[in-house]
Structure 1
Amino acid sequence: MKNKAIELLGQSILPGESKTIDVEIAKLHTTTKLKIPIIIERSKIDGPIVLFSAGLHGDEINGTEIVRQLIIRKINKPKRGTVICIPIINIFGFVNQSRQFPDGRDLNRVFPGSKNGSLASRFAHFLVKEIIPIVDYAIDFHAGGASRFNASQIRIVPNDLELKELATIFNAPFTLYSKNIHGSFRNACTRLNVKMLLFEGGKSLDLNSEITRDGVEGSKRFLSHLDMLNPKKVANQNVQKTIYIEKSYWIRAHFSGMFIGLIKIGTFVKKGTILATISDPFGKTENKVKAPNDGYLINVNDAPIVYQGDAIFHISTQLETEN
């Protein structure tokens, strides 16, 4: 792209240019237009093209807040290269505060999509054909579904040294090894040789200042590593090193009832530690939930009521340092 215009959605973005492109994929059933802003900031100096995206699930608004912070604080104005921001991918779900597209499909399960498929499939096809081919690196921001609150974490596939280096640079409190899910945005990016970090933090329909801070500061470190961070911005390097988790699993409720969590997210617990209580509403029983092994709690269910079999804590079982 050296000294050349970037072509995106039929428009040219020249070196040193800022541009917002409003994309209309479909209208509401009321004929109301919904436009998705794509915000592009390009330096006069050649360099990588980085995508920051959020809102793939419309109810995961903390990711949208992270990308909004990158824009409003002008972190997206690069020293070199190009930064593309899409604060809300699933604008339909965002309007309805819903995870899915109006057709009931999960956008993150239909990639690479189809030009003539469902509404979600068509939008996935648009991203794969129009956006991803020009991108070198991407960070996609997510949150825990339903009432499940994720500790700030980066997820990467195993055995990819470059992704591991980038995850170490981003330096979220935790980094999890997880395989790509068929039909996911991350899987589509991998197939197109785009190096993507998937950020998880917080829960749906919620804003959390600590999660936002972790996402913003990690993004600054990421840009600094690529020599793209605006020199007026400073990345905080004085943080504890990310903890790599190789294996983890969900602790599930053995009883139904009122759920009260007792341990803060991100805490390392010893086997036998009381994590929560599950009680009936009539004062007859109170069941304790104990840690089945030593490990970090990387996801906690914030629901006040749980049913037998519900996932309530995600706990690590093997750290990379144990190898």
Structure 2
Amino acid sequence: MKILNEIVQPGETKTINLEIAKFHTATKLKIPIIVSRSKIDGPTVLLSSGLHGDELNGIDIVRQIIFKKINIPKRGTIICIPVINIFGFINKTREFPDGRDLNRMFPGSKNGSLASRFAYHLVNYILPLVDYVIDFHAGGQSRFNAAQLRVAPGNDELEDLAKIFHPPFLLYSNNISGSFRSACSKKGIKALLFEGGKSMDINSNISTIGIEGTMRFLNHFGMLRDQFEITEPQDKMTTITNSAWMRAKVSGLLIDQISVNTFVKKGTILASIADPYGKESALIKAPHEGYIINVNDVPIVYQGDAIFHISKKIKHD
């Protein structure tokens, strides 16, 4: 396998540095890409995270996969990129220094903005080698996502792969123009998008779900080595075919939020929004029954802020 002008031989694990730009200090910027090949032919799986530099839970999942040597395949090839947006990771921000969201810049441009150039290199130098992708994310702006996979509706193969990964929730979500997932789809690459946790936070339970799901995924393709034990999921996976965001009707302190993953009935009190002077307190009630799959963990909200994501239509697998 030739990747970024370097050869990775069968049976070899090699770290290849992607160099696109420098810091303003003239220091070289290197993005490590860990490539592990088996001596036995098989598919190539990309495990990526850190498209948004502040989504640490995804980075922790890929980090642990490398640390535990789960990324060394029994057959085929596993490529790991723990931190794609190294600028955002260093600055603890979602965006690139140019203010752009990398996950809206695909397929990118060789001579475009900094974020666009990163997207271009991923699409043209990494994706042509790949058959499958699991891209790990977390909720942005302190919104805690329940562990979930997202796939576009109507793709039976992706749904089957999601069932093998088996997170608590599978959410139907159309591919967004300019996203990494959309770029994968256009190249015929099967991509699963994992969401779990929130920005600037590492939740061990979310990491465990992501790692165990990845192991089941790799085992399905005969890529997981024999020394690793597969953990069978204890609960059914809930498929959410439709969902809705609830937004704050007033501004104030967000108090006593209900926990993520909770199934609620119509009228269930989810939280309250109070003014800081003790005069008013508005209850937030569920508009319909469903699972709470995202909770806004910030203590202060403004009118119109997204505060809960709740399922509307579900089915169990």
TM class by shorter chain equals over 0.9
Q: Which runs of 5+ in 2 are unaligned?
A: none
Check whether the contact 2:254–2:299 (CA below 8 A) recurs between aligned residues: yes
| Distance (whole Å) between structure 2 residues aligned to residue 238 and residue 176 of structure 1 | 18
| Distance (whole Å) between structure 2 residues aligned to residue 72 and residue 9 of structure 1 | 24
TM norm structure 2: 0.98
Q: Which runs of 5+ in 1 are unaligned?
A: 1-5
Question: Matched residue of 2:100: which SS?
Answer: coil
Residue 39 of structure 1 deviates from its aligned partner by: 0.2
Alignment of 1:94-243 (within 5 A): 94-243=89-238
| Distance (whole Å) between structure 1 residues aligned to residue 224 and residue 316 of structure 2 | 31
Q: Is the counterpart of residue 299 in structure 1 residue 271 in structure 2? A: no
* 1:213-257 C-alpha deviation (Å, 9 max, x unpaired): 111011001001111111101121132121100000101111111
Check whether the contact 1:155–1:177 (CA below 8 A) recurs between aligned residues: yes
Aligned counterpart in structure 1 of residue 29 of structure 2, from 31, 34, 49? 34
Matched residue, 1:17:
12
Matched residue, 1:262:
257
Residue 321 of structure 1 deviates from its aligned partner by: 5.4
Aligned residues: 317
Matched residue, 1:3:
none
Question: Matched residue of 1:22: which SS?
Answer: strand
Deviates more, 1:229-238 or 1:42-51: 229-238
Matched residue, 2:47:
52
Matched residue, 1:77:
72
Instruction: Point out 4+ residue stretches in structure 1 off by more than 6 angstroms.
Output: none
| Distance (whole Å) between structure 1 residues aligned to residue 256 and residue 84 of structure 2 | 33
* 1:277-312 C-alpha deviation (Å, 9 max, x unpaired): 111111111111110100000000001000111110
Aligned-residue CA RMSD (Å): 1.0
Residue 94 of structure 1 deviates from its aligned partner by: 0.3
| Distance (whole Å) between structure 2 residues aligned to residue 238 and residue 96 of structure 1 | 37
Check whether the contact 2:236–2:316 (CA below 8 A) recurs between aligned residues: no
**Overall identity of the aligned pairs, in %:** 62
The residue identity in structure 1 corresponding to 2:182 is N
Question: Matched residue of 1:62: which SS?
Answer: helix
Check whether the contact 1:261–1:302 (CA below 8 A) recurs between aligned residues: no
Q: Is the counterpart of residue 313 in structure 1 residue 308 in structure 2? A: yes
Check whether the contact 1:111–1:124 (CA below 8 A) recurs between aligned residues: yes
| Distance (whole Å) between structure 1 residues aligned to residue 265 and residue 151 of structure 2 | 26
